[in-house]
Amino acid sequence: MSTPFHENPLFLSEEQYEQLEKLAGANFSLRKIAQFLDVDENIFIKIANTKGTRIYQSINRGRMVVDFTINNAMIEKAAKGDTSANFQFEKNKDARKIEEIKKHFFG
C-alpha cells in the first residue's frame, strides 16, 4: 500500500522530531508546533493527522509519555491515601473508557 506522503516531506531533523515530541507532550496545538518548527502549517497539519506517518507517531508518543508520567505520579499519591489523587485517577480512567468506546463506534 502506498502512502500519500514522502517519508519525511518536511525534511525534519532528528532534533526536530525530539522537539516535536516535547511540544506535543506540552499540549501545544498542531499549528503552534508547525510554527515552532518553522514548517508549512497546512502540510504539517495534514501529515500530523495521517495515521502511520512519523509525525503522527511522534505526536502520539510525546503525549503518551507525559500522560504516563502524570498517571504514575497520581497512582503513587493515591496509593499513599491521597483521596483527591484517587478521585482524579478514577475520573481519568472513566474518560479514557468513553474515548475508547467513541473510537470503536465512530472511528
DSSP 55-78: HHHHHHHHHHHHHHHHHHHHHHHH
Please state, as a whole number, how many other Cβ atoms lie within 10 Å of the Cβ of residue 79: 11
What are the tens digits of pLDDT across the range 52-86? 999 999 999 999 999 999 989 988 998 999 999 88
SS3 50: coil
Structure confidence at residue 93 as a pLDDT band (50, 70, 90)? confident
DSSP H or E segment with residue 27 = none
What does the alpha-carbon distance between residue 105 and residue 103 come to, in Å, rounded to a whole number? Answer: 6
pLDDT at 105 over 60: yes
